[in-house]
Amino acid sequence: MALSMNRKKKINQILKKKQKQHNAKLHSSNKPRYISKAERAKMEAEEANKALESSESVQTEQELSADKVSDSAEQQ
């Protein structure tokens, strides 16, 4: 009789464990993904390059518009 109780208990433990694991997969944590120090440095460098490129493009656009204004003033 004790043997059958231990077997039932063990089966129930296994089923409960599987159910807990299934529930844990369904409810993922809200914690953000870990980003390593090297990845953060790489991302910062890319952002700095983008900012530099965008500021350079703004400067060239301003120079072009200033040239157009000066050309139109010379023509008049």
CA pair distance 8, 15, nearest whole angstrom: 11
CA pair distance 43, 33, nearest whole angstrom: 15
Which pLDDT score is estimated for 28?
78
Which pLDDT score is estimated for 76?
58
pLDDT, mean of each 10-residue run, the chain (76 residues) = 80 97 86 92 94 79 67 60
Which pLDDT score is estimated for 31?
83
Q: Which two tokens stand for residue 65?
A: 């518009």
CA pair distance 56, 31, nearest whole angstrom: 38
Residue carrying the six token digits 């299934």? 22
> Tens digit of pLDDT for each residue in 45-64?
999 999 888 877 777 777 76
Q: What does DSSP assign to residue 30?
A: -
CA pair distance 48, 54, nearest whole angstrom: 10
